[in-house]
Amino acid sequence: MKTDSILYRLFKTFPGVFFELLGQSPVEAEAYEFVSVEVKQTNFRIDGAFLPKQPDLELPIHFTEFQFQPDPGLYSRLLTEIFMYLDKTEIRNDWRGTVIWMSRRLDPGIPIRYWEFFESQRVQVIYLDELRDLANQSIGLGTLTLVVESPKQASVKARSLIERSRQVPDEQVRRKLVELIETIIVYKFPQKSQAEIQAMLGLGDLKQTRVYQEGLEDGERKGRFESKLEAVPRLLKLGLTLEQVAEALELEVAEVKEAARSA
């Protein structure tokens, strides 16, 4: 299972889950943007980072690393990546790190030379299989721990999570959450067809509802719009004027200007 990409999608869609893992309120996520960060001029890439949306020095950067197979060099590599990123970024905030293992049995142990980072709780270690039995899991935590369930247990839990997803007020978030749950189950049952998976999860009727279809259409429109915005800097570099780019991409001139400033 491409679990690292699944967790990235989950934190991107439902960022409050990360702060629940840390024992904090999911509301904390409103002050952050979750991104994958690359250290310039190196081959290093950190799985994900919660960067403060505003230049508020009271908010720490949260670096995250997902690991679902043995990796004896993970702690050394992660700390190296973090310090190289901090050296090259203009962000002056303090920082925290979180390593998410699928299971404690995969963890090779923290090298003695790094103990102080973990004893001080600057870097925390979380094992997903030790969270799945927590009572009163939120829908976000439930989806997160779905990746470590056995196929039989996962199918039952997934149906429950999909039913609970009806409580999510944001239709876009709800649709993405359902798709994420479905993706996890597809990996759990690679021998089953898409139709069999949907029948297992009771998704046939849900996906035919007007609300779901409208949400899907809205998501597709948003995706096309974002693709247009990404094309703006390239077209401007070719020498086109703002008006020409706006006409070519069927955008407003103000939208082209904003995309150019954000590039």
Judge whether 169 lies within some domain.
no
Cβ(60)–Cβ(22) under 8 Å?
A: no
CA 87, 90, 94, 98 dihedral sign is negative
C-alpha distances in angstroms, 121 versus 58, 151, 180?
17, 34, 31
1 shares its domain with 128: yes
pLDDT at 261: 74
Q: CB neighbours of 110 closer than 8 A, spacing ≥ 6? A: 75, 118, 125
Listed residues 132, 151, 174: the one ending a domain? 132
114 shares its domain with 236: no
pLDDT at 222: 56
Cβ(72)–Cβ(57) under 8 Å?
A: no
229 shares its domain with 126: no
CATH number, residue 50? 3.40.1350
Judge whether 184 lies within some domain.
no
Listed residues 82, 103, 132: the one ending a domain? 132
Structural domain boundaries enclosing 235: 225-262
Structure tokens at 63: 């670096």
Q: Give the integer Cα–Cα distance in Å for 146 and 168.
A: 18
Instruction: From 72, 85, 96, select the one nearest 18 (Cα to Cα).
Output: 96
pLDDT at 56: 79
- Its pTM stands at 0.74
Q: Give the integer Cα–Cα distance in Å for 247 and 263.
A: 19
Tell me the pLDDT of the chain (263 aa) as tens digits: 566 788 888 998 899 999 999 999 999 999 999 988 877 666 677 889 999 988 778 899 999 999 999 999 999 999 999 999 999 888 899 999 999 999 999 999 999 999 999 999 999 999 999 998 776 788 999 999 999 999 989 999 999 999 898 888 888 888 888 889 988 998 888 888 877 888 888 876 544 444 444 544 455 555 566 777 777 877 777 667 787 778 777 778 878 887 777 65
Judge whether 164 lies within some domain.
no
Q: Give the integer Cα–Cα distance in Å for 110 and 74.
A: 9
Judge whether 207 lies within some domain.
no
Judge whether 56 lies within some domain.
yes
114 shares its domain with 229: no
CA 17, 119, 53, 31 dihedral sign is positive
Q: CB neighbours of 158 closer than 8 A, spacing ≥ 6? A: 146, 181, 182, 184, 185, 201
230 shares its domain with 110: no
Residue with structure tokens 């199918």?
A: 155
> DSSP H helical segments within 22-150, as ranges?
74-88, 115-119, 139-145
Q: Give the integer Cα–Cα distance in Å for 238 and 14.
A: 38
> DSSP H helical segments within the chain, as ranges?
3-13, 16-21, 74-88, 115-119, 139-145, 151-164, 171-188, 194-201, 203-207, 210-237, 242-249, 253-262
Judge whether 148 lies within some domain.
no
Judge whether 189 lies within some domain.
no
pLDDT at 220: 52
Instruction: From 102, 148, 150, select the one nearest 125 (Cα to Cα).
Output: 102
pLDDT at 116: 97
Into how many domains does the chain fold? 2
Listed residues 132, 166, 194: the one ending a domain? 132
Residue 60 has what DSSP assignment?
Answer: P
3 shares its domain with 118: yes
